[in-house]
């Protein structure tokens, strides 16, 4: 306890410390008279001189306790015996406490333990005080400490010997943990009580009165402490209400998402034909997918309200299907790949159907958003885009849902794509999507035609499975080849940063084919020039130098660092590692 | 492996190199040749740079013709320019 008593500048702790430091293995009674010159005595005398408040008395008592404690470890039995004897009449409580201290834990010399000891000795009747006064004190004390004990369960009870003190110990310890303000008030009360109780000579009565006052003080604040410490009361944790709607939505999304994830893992590269239209539509679609999560809430509402155009309804199932932006792409890819793989790329119809389905899914959201925008009658540009998208999705959606339109779908798709390729659509889709998202938040307008198409997009999921075994075209040759090429085609469209026509993407594919052919020929020539049959990285570097990519200023390693991810960089660029090793080995 | 990165365009680009695809293509075209371990990564780097240049050129052509969409002709012109 660190009482900062405003009355004096020294605290009991400092006093006790001083006492402890200078304590001699002697009884406190004797040192009181014998240690005239010692510092401890000086403090004691000073303390005794300051008998103004109970605190001083407490300090004295504490000092005495400290002395006792220091004394007891050194000469246990003798000291205690002498102390006990010396204090037979006087503060029997003190002797009791000393005995307790001696027998109990001796290492603890903290003010807390001192106070505890004081309190332990408190119930002992003081010689000087009348019994009547003492009796009622222990009674309430026993009651309240027990209460306190119950309230503060885990208090240290380091003295097992005495039972009654144990009940009081929590009472003592708990207040000991209290802060200064409380203790001050407590002491004030105790002081008043103590003063009122004992007007006798303050020699030995002080101890008992102090303890009694302390007991009283410690007893009383048990209740106010709880009142004064509202922070200690256990508060129920603040919990936000669970948004059941969002939770259910997430459940649905996650339940539908895993298939996409599976597809994503197994087929990193979409099927060739699927890839190009996907690439083409990726621009308008991916922003849609990006806005998916935001649109989910609106999409749900749109579904529920569900009048109007058919296009919007697929948006919801699309949202169902693609919980995340990545998964949407993967899902579309996987779906298209599966559908294309089943039907064969030679057949345009199923491809287009699958494309439309995937596109529809991906575009539904954008459509739904655009629809909502249209319904909300937001800016003209957005309406245009919405219209453009609606046209696209209308054609695609109707085709996709029908699944039987076949040829009509492809043509419609082309037209729709052509329309969608109109200026307002793709380039401004990111901004428009953001705006749409805002609109969605602002206007959860009833989505047009959600109900109609909501069922339809669900059907395509089931309907798609049957079409898969429809036709098995020449799978081995072109599929993986085009699948690999589509990877670079996608990169092309990414680098271009502009919307592209499908024919342009096909052209890119042809260019890539030619490029690979040329590449292999060059490498063969270089390897043969070096007299090797294995193409080594040096050949590659020579090739890039001839292409003008690698110059004297720009080395191959620089290009590797710039364009390849870390894992590949580590494989390509020799780096020194611990143990005097270089990887990859040169 | 770095599979994809989210770019400002909100597009998911896979940075993974289709190593199997490249190896297979090389094997098909030149069965008598062998490709070294990290050779296909460099081939992939070469492809990336090629595609990058082609895309830039196509984009330039499209912007020059004041089209908002890259057309087939733009791509052809770019390919002709780079390869001849």
- Region A295-322: mean pLDDT is 45
Q: How confident is the model at residue A196 (pLDDT cuts 50, 70, 90)?
A: low
Length of chain B: 84
pLDDT at residue A320 is higher than 70: no
Q: How far apart are CA A302 and CA A445, in angstroms?
A: 7
**What chain B residue is nearest to A504 in terms of C-alpha separation?**
B72
**ipTM exceeding cut-off 0.90 for this assembly:** no
pLDDT at residue A420 is higher than 70: no
- pLDDT tens profile B45-76: 999 999 998 888 888 888 888 888 888 888 88
> Highest-confidence range of A43-57, A277-291, A415-429, A482-496, by mean pLDDT?
A482-496
**What chain B residue is nearest to A327 in terms of C-alpha separation?**
B12
Q: Is A190 helix (H, G, I), strand (E, B) or coil?
A: helix
Q: Is A38 helix (H, G, I), strand (E, B) or coil?
A: coil
Considering only residues 2 to 21 of chain B, which have any Cβ-Cβ distance to chain A shorter than 8 Å?
A: 2-4, 7, 9-18, 21
Q: How far apart are CA A101 and CA B4, in angstroms?
A: 71
Q: DSSP character for A235?
A: P
CA distances A536 to A476, B33, B34, Å, are 29, 11, 9
pLDDT at residue A239 is higher than 60: yes
Interchain pair A533, B55: CB under 8 A:
no
**What chain A residue is nearest to B58 in terms of C-alpha separation?**
A496
Q: Is B4 helix (H, G, I), strand (E, B) or coil?
A: strand
Task: Provide the shortest C-alpha distance from residue A391 to chain B (in Å).
Answer: 19
Interchain pair A496, B55: CB under 8 A:
yes
> Highest-confidence range of A177-191, A224-238, A478-492, A542-556, by mean pLDDT?
A542-556
First to last CA, chain B: 36
A46 contact partners, CB below 8 Å, separation of at least 6: none
**What chain B residue is nearest to A489 in terms of C-alpha separation?**
B51
Q: Residue A531 has what pLDDT?
A: 92
Residue A500 β-bridge partners: B70
Q: How confident is the model at residue A23 (pLDDT cuts 50, 70, 90)?
A: low
Contact A300, A249 (CB under 8 A): yes
Task: Provide the shortest C-alpha distance from residue A423 to chain B (in Å).
Answer: 6
DSSP string, A384-451: HHHHHHHHHHHHHHHHHHHS--THHHHHHHHHHHHHHTSHHHHTTHHHHHHHHHHHHHH--PPPTTHH
Higher pLDDT, residue A90 or A481: A481
Contacts of B3 in chain A (CB under 8 A): 268
pLDDT at residue A238 is higher than 60: yes
- pLDDT tens profile A242-258: 777 877 887 777 666 55
A340 contact partners, CB below 8 Å, separation of at least 6: A271, A273, A274, A350, A351, A354
Q: How confident is the model at residue A314 (pLDDT cuts 50, 70, 90)?
A: very low
pLDDT at residue A548 is higher than 80: yes
Task: Provide the shortest C-alpha distance from residue B33 to chain A (in Å).
Answer: 6
Interchain pair A565, B1: CB under 8 A:
yes
Contact A204, A48 (CB under 8 A): no
Question: CB contact, 8 Å: B50 with chain A?
Answer: yes
A581 φ/ψ angles, rounded to the nearest 5 degrees? -125, 150
Interchain pair A572, B38: CB under 8 A:
yes
Probe site for chain A from B25, B81, B82 (most A CB atoms < 10 A): B25
Q: Residue A109 has what pLDDT?
A: 74
Q: Residue A168 has what pLDDT?
A: 47
Q: How far apart are CA A539 and CA A24, in angstroms?
A: 92
CA distances A541 to A520, A536, A538, B33, Å, are 14, 9, 5, 17
- Region A26-33: mean pLDDT is 50
Q: How many CB atoms lie within 10 A of CB B5?
A: 11
Higher pLDDT, residue A517 or A497: A517
How large a percentage of chain B has pLDDT more than 70? 82
Q: With CA atoms as reference, report the closest residue to A281 among A366, A187, A403.
A: A366
B32 contact partners, CB below 8 Å, separation of at least 6: A533
Q: DSSP character for A368?
A: H
- The helices-and-strands tally (H runs, E runs) of chain B is 3, 3
Q: How far apart are CA A81 and CA A71, in angstroms?
A: 12
Probe site for chain B from A275, A331, A511 (most B CB atoms < 10 A): A511
pLDDT at residue A418 is higher than 60: no
Query: What angle is formed at CA A146 by the lines to CA A143 and CA A152, rounded to 5 degrees?
Result: 140
pLDDT, chain A, mean = 58
- Region A146-151: mean pLDDT is 48
Question: CB contact, 8 Å: A421 with chain B?
Answer: yes
Least confident of A14-28, A116-130, A387-401: A387-401
Q: How confident is the model at residue A59 (pLDDT cuts 50, 70, 90)?
A: low
Query: Containing H/E element for A98?
Result: helix A92-103
How large a percentage of chain A has pLDDT more than 90? 2
Q: How far apart are CA A24 and CA B74, in angstroms?
A: 102
Q: How far apart are CA A109 and CA A472, in angstroms?
A: 90
Q: How far apart are CA A150 and CA A237, in angstroms?
A: 24
Q: Is B14 helix (H, G, I), strand (E, B) or coil?
A: strand
**What chain B residue is nearest to A570 in terms of C-alpha separation?**
B38
Question: CB contact, 8 Å: A547 with chain B?
Answer: yes
Q: How far apart are CA A102 and CA A376, in angstroms?
A: 86
> Highest-confidence range of A46-60, A124-138, B6-20, B22-36, by mean pLDDT?
B22-36
Q: Is A243 helix (H, G, I), strand (E, B) or coil?
A: coil
Q: Which residues of B18-38 are buried (b: 16+ CB within 10 A; e: fewer)?
A: bbebbeebbeeebeebebbeb
Least confident of A211-220, A346-355, A545-554, A563-572: A346-355
Contacts of B11 in chain A (CB under 8 A): 282, 286, 494
């Amino acid at each position: 306890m660190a009482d900062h008593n405003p009355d004096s500048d020294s605290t009991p702790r400092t006093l006790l410390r001083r006492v402890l430091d200078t304590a001699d293995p002697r009884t406190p009674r004797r040192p009181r008279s014998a240690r005239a010159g010692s510092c401890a005595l000086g403090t004691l005398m000073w303390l005794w001189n300051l008998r103004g408040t109970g605190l001083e008395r407490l300090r004295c008592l504490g000092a005495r306790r400290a002395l006792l404690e220091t004394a007891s470890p050194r000469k246990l039995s003798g000291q205690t015996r002498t102390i006990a004897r010396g204090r037979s009449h006087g503060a029997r409580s003190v002797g009791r406490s000393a005995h307790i201290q001696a027998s109990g834990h001796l290492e603890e010399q903290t003010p807390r333990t001192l106070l505890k000891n004081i309190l332990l000795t408190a119930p002992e009747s003081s010689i000087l005080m009348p019994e009547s006064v003492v009796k009622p004190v222990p009674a309430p004390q026993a009651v309240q400490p027990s209460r306190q004990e119950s309230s503060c369960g885990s208090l240290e009870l380091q003295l097992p010997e005495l039972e009654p003190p144990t009940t009081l110990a929590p009472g003592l310890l708990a207040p000991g943990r209290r802060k200064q303000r409380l203790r001050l008030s407590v002491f004030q009360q105790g002081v008043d009580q103590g003063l009122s109780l004992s007007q006798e000579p303050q020699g030995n009565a002080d101890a008992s009165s102090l303890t009694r006052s302390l007991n009283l003080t410690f007893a009383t604040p048990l209740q106010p402490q709880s009142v004064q410490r509202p922070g200690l009361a256990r508060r129920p944790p603040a919990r936000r209400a669970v948004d059941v709607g969002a939770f259910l939505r997430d459940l649905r999304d996650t339940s539908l998402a895993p298939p996409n994830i599976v597809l994503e893992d197994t087929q990193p590269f979409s099927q060739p034909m699927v890839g190009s239209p996907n690439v083409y539509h990726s621009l308008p679609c991916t922003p849609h997918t990006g806005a998916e999560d935001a649109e989910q809430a609106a999409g749900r509402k749109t579904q529920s309200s569900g009048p109007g155009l058919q296009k919007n309804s697929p948006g919801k199932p699309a949202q169902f299907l693609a919980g995340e932006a990545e998964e949407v792409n993967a899902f579309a890819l996987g779906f298209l790949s599966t559908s294309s793989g089943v039907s064969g790329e030679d057949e345009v119809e199923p491809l287009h159907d699958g494309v439309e389905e995937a596109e529809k899914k991906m575009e539904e959201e954008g459509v739904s958003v655009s629809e909502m925008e249209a319904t909300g009658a937001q800016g003209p540009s957005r309406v245009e885009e919405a219209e453009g998208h609606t046209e696209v999705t209308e054609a695609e959606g109707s085709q996709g849902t029908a699944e039987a339109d076949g040829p009509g779908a492809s043509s419609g798709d082309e037209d729709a794509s052509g329309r969608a390729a109109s200026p307002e659509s793709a380039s401004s889709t990111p901004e428009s999507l953001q705006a749409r998202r805002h609109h969605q938040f602002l206007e959860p307008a009833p989505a047009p035609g959600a109900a109609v198409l909501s069922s339809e997009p669900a059907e395509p999921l089931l309907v798609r499975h049957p079409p898969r075994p429809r036709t098995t075209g020449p799978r081995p040759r072109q599929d993986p080849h085009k699948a690999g090429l589509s990877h670079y085609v996608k990169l092309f469209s990414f680098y271009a940063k502009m919307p592209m026509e499908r024919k342009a993407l096909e052209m890119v594919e042809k260019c890539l084919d030619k490029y690979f052919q040329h590449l292999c020929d060059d490498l063969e020539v270089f390897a043969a020039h070096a007299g090797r049959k294995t193409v080594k990285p040096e050949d590659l570097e020579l090739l890039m130098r001839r292409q003008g990519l690698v110059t004297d200023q720009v080395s191959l390693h620089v290009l590797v660092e710039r364009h390849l991810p870390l894992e590949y960089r580590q494989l390509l660029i020799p780096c020194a590692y611990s143990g005097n090793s270089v990887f990859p080995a040169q | 492996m770095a599979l994809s990165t989210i770019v400002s365009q909100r597009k998911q680009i896979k940075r993974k190199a289709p190593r199997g695809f490249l190896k297979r293509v090389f094997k098909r075209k030149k069965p008598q040749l062998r490709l070294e371990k990290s050779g296909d990564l460099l081939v992939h780097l070469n492809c990336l740079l090629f595609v990058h240049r082609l895309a830039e050129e196509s984009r330039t052509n499209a912007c020059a013709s004041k089209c908002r969409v890259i057309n087939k002709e733009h791509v052809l012109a770019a390919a002709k320019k780079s390869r001849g």
